[in-house]
Amino acid sequence: MAFLTEPEPERGAKVEMMPGVNRIVANNPGPMTYFGTNTYLIDTPDGLAVLDPGPEGHPEHIEAILRHTSGKIASILVSHTHHDHVGAVPALQAATGAPTVGFRKSGIESFDPDIKLDHGDTFAGMVALHTPGHASDHLCFALSAQNGDKILFSADHVMSWSTSIVSPPGGDMRDYFASLNLLLTRDDDVYLPGHGPALHNPRDLVRAMLTHRVIREQAIARKLSDGSFDTYTIMDALYSQLNPRLRKAAERNVLAHLLKMEIEGKALREGELWRAA
C-alpha cells in the first residue's frame, strides 16, 4: 500500500487544510499516532466545532485550541473514545462549556456525550457515519467544504500514513470490513484522518486496505492448516519483519481476524490455541 508522509508539524500552530477547516496536531507522537492526534477546527452553520481535542495531559494543546478559537467553541465532537482522541475533552469542556457530541453508545464509561448521534444523523451541517471496526463507537463525519470538496473526517478508520489497529473487544474485524465497504459506496474527494496528512482520491487506499486484510486472513488460514497455534505464534510467522514496537498491535489484529473466522466457521478455538475448522 502506498502510504503518505508529511514533515513534522509545528506544535501549537493552526494550519488551514481547506477553507473552513484547520488543524492543530497534538504533541503525542508514537508508533500508533504518527506525529500526534489531529484536532480539527471546523466552521459550521452552528458555529465553530472542535473535532477530537486530543489526549489528556497536554495543557499546551488545549491552550493552542483556545488561542486559535478565542474560546468561542460551539461543540466538541469525538470520533471515538480512544484516549488519544477523547482524553482532553473534560479540560476543553471545562474551559468553554461547549456540549460534547459522539456516538449514542459510548465505548467507555467515563465519556457520555451530551448530544448522541446515530448513523446517518446530521449535526452542524455534517452527516455522522457509524464506522465500527477500529472502535465500536467510531464515527466519521461527512462535510461539503466551502470550496465544494466532499470531505470525510475519517478519524482512525482510514488513515493516510498507516493501517488501523483492530483490537478486540472494542475492535471488530467483521465490522471493520463492513465499514470499509461502506466507504467504497461513497464519493468523498478527500479524507482528513485522525493522524497524518490529508488523503485525496481515498477510495484507492480503501480498496487496498480491504485487499490487504483479505490476504492477511488467507495467510492465517494457511498457517492454521499446519496445526494448532496461539496468536503470538501466528503473528510471529506472519509479521517476522515487523518493528518490535508494533508486534503487540499486530497480535491484536491476528486475534481480530481469528474471531471473525470463528464466527464464519473457518477457525476453531481450543483454550489459547486456534486451528482450522
Per residue in 230-256, pLDDT tens? 999 999 999 877 788 889 999 999 999
Distance CA 267, CA 117 (A): 35
Choice among 68-77, 81-90, 102-111, 237-246 with the minimum mean pLDDT: 237-246
Distance CA 42, CA 37 (A): 16
**% residues pLDDT > 90 (the chain):** 95
Delimit the CATH 3.60.15.10 region(s) of the chain: 15-201
Where do the H-state alpha helices sit in 110-189? 173-184
Tell me the CATH number for domain 15-201: 3.60.15.10
Angle, CA of 103, 105 and 107, to the nearest 5°? 95
Q: What is the pLDDT of residue 269?
A: 97
Distance CA 249, CA 138 (A): 18
Q: What is the pLDDT of residue 245?
A: 85
Tell me the CATH number for domain 212-276: 1.10.10.10
- C-alpha neighbours within 13 Å on the C-beta side of residue 60: 8
**Under 8 Å CB-to-CB from 59, ≥6 apart: which residues?**
91
Q: Which three cell numbers stand for residue 158?
A: 482510514
CB-CB contact of 92 with 62 (8 Å): yes
Delimit the CATH 1.10.10.10 region(s) of the chain: 212-276
The helix or strand, by DSSP H or E, that contains position 48, with its residue range, turns out to be: strand 47-51
Q: What is the pLDDT of residue 3?
A: 95
pTM for the full model? 0.96
